[in-house]
Structure 1
Amino acid sequence: MIVYGSSMSPFVRKVIAVLTVKQIDFKLKTVGFQDPDPDFRAASPLGKMPAIDDDGFKLADSSAICHYIEAAHPDPVLIPGDAKERGRVIWWDKYADTVLMPTGGKMFFNRVVAPIFMKKPGNDEMADKAEAEELPVILDYLEGEVPDAGAFLVGDTLSLADISLASPFANLSHAGVTIDAKRFPRVKAWTESMLAHPCLAGSVARERAFFEKIGAPRS
């Protein structure tokens, strides 16, 4: 399987984590947003990452890809068959993609993507406002929802819910965001535990090594 994108994207990191759990061989072909690469654009008509080419079957959108992988490779289960548990997994996947990611993206884009990859100033005011006003509201909600470190969001095993919710926290870390352990102890402990899980740890370690190599300033 070919995966188009960069693991710096939480959406791509999510797909890589699912493939890692399923022990599916893949090749990551690095592309950027709206990349003109014809193979990528054939798989992603909107020019967004991630996209895949699985022996000629092309598909875009991280959630669609994860559901495809789950159906094609059902073991181990990441999207449970129980109706209530499946509903909760889909909820957390959607919450991560549509609530946590847009807020985190304001910090990651303006503090990392713009200055480091695009070589232009980011909007520091936007990033700071998102961290000061938007993120605490999200963390307040999550503090009452996430389980203890080492436990899982849905049921007693790892699921797509855990992968989807944890992945954006790597980007927050890359953007210099530190979760207040006194105000949000459960969120901090759970996210650190999940980012250390084998399905995510490899991507996160490579990304951190990259930032250390280029000497990117991170608080």
Structure 2
Amino acid sequence: MSMQLYGSTISPFVRKVAVFAEEKGIALDLIPTAPGDASPAFRAISPFGQIPALVDGDFSLADSSAIVTYLEAKYPEPALIPAEAQARGRTIWFDELADTIVFGAGRAMLFNRVVGPLFRGGVGDAAVADAAERDQWPGILAYLDAQVGGRDFLVGDTLTLADIAVASAFASTLHACAPVDAAVYPDLARYLAAILARPAFATRVAGERAFIERARARVVK
């Protein structure tokens, strides 16, 4: 029996786990679940209503970073969290950066331009989204453009959690803001295009984009 992953892949955290699992060849059944779901069954596996939550037999775990750590330990090949000390440290840094800094700004844009207006009855503050894109986003783009440089991956010469986490944070944010300007941030734009073209990302992101466009069409009728 495959594991169950609760959440929606519009969330960068849920997508991060889904992509991580697919890149390892791990089968997961996605159970659509909204953040904050208060049902007793969901709270039994995610006490504070967080998504994603994972169920593997009689074991459950919430929080994306905890889940990918569990999956890496249970299914060590192919390795997506390096064993070498410096490489592992940098991988965990980029995972944290993606979750807190990249999607810290991204959340303000995604919630106020997409989730609130399209899925929560028109709740959204455009000024908050505009401020995040104007004041926070350029520094994030510049930092990551420099970190990527001419490389294909953020850590070493193969795909790691660092790439999956960063690309997932961008995939969610890019549902709500302009594409990365390749004239200004050429290395980051090239890198993201390549990572997001991987099958584990591409199919999901295309489905999310179609879902958002259908919701937008309903709202503007």
Which of the five TM-score ranges fits, normalised by the shorter chain? over 0.9
Alignment partner of 1:11 is 2:13: yes
The answer (yes or no) to whether the contact 2:6–2:30 under 8 Å persists in 1 is yes
Structure 2: segments with no counterpart, 5+ residues: none
Residue 147 of structure 1 and its aligned partner are, at CA, apart by: 4.1
Alignment partner of 1:102 is 2:85: no
Q: Distance in 1 between matches of 2:131 and 2:120?
A: 22
Residue 197 of structure 1 and its aligned partner are, at CA, apart by: 1.1
AA partner of residue 212 (structure 1):
E
How many pairs does the alignment contain?
216
Residue 211 of structure 1 and its aligned partner are, at CA, apart by: 2.5
What residue number does 2:47 align with? 45
Q: Distance in 2 between matches of 1:196 and 1:46?
A: 33
Which piece of structure 1 moves more, 181-190 or 90-99? Answer: 181-190
What residue number does 1:159 align with? 160
The answer (yes or no) to whether the contact 2:118–2:215 under 8 Å persists in 1 is no
Q: Distance in 2 between matches of 1:215 and 1:41?
A: 31
Q: Distance in 2 between matches of 1:93 and 1:21?
A: 16
**Scaled by the length of structure 2, what TM-score is found?**
0.93
What residue number does 1:208 align with? 209
Residue 177 of structure 1 and its aligned partner are, at CA, apart by: 2.2
Structure 1: segments with no counterpart, 5+ residues: none
Which piece of structure 1 moves more, 115-124 or 204-213? Answer: 204-213
> What is the correspondence of 1:136-215 to structure 2 with a 5 Å cutoff?
136-148=138-150, 151-215=152-216
The answer (yes or no) to whether the contact 1:147–1:153 under 8 Å persists in 2 is no
SS at match of 1:174: coil
AA partner of residue 28 (structure 1):
L
The answer (yes or no) to whether the contact 2:118–2:216 under 8 Å persists in 1 is no
Q: Deviations over 1:121-164 (max 9, x none)?
A: 31000000100111001111111101447x11111111000000
Residue 38 of structure 1 and its aligned partner are, at CA, apart by: 2.5
Q: Distance in 2 between matches of 1:31 and 1:147?
A: 38
Q: Among the aligned pairs, what percent are the same residue?
A: 48
SS at match of 2:112: helix
The answer (yes or no) to whether the contact 2:119–2:215 under 8 Å persists in 1 is no
> What is the correspondence of 1:20-39 to structure 2 with a 5 Å cutoff?
20-39=22-41
Q: Distance in 2 between matches of 1:45 and 1:79?
A: 27
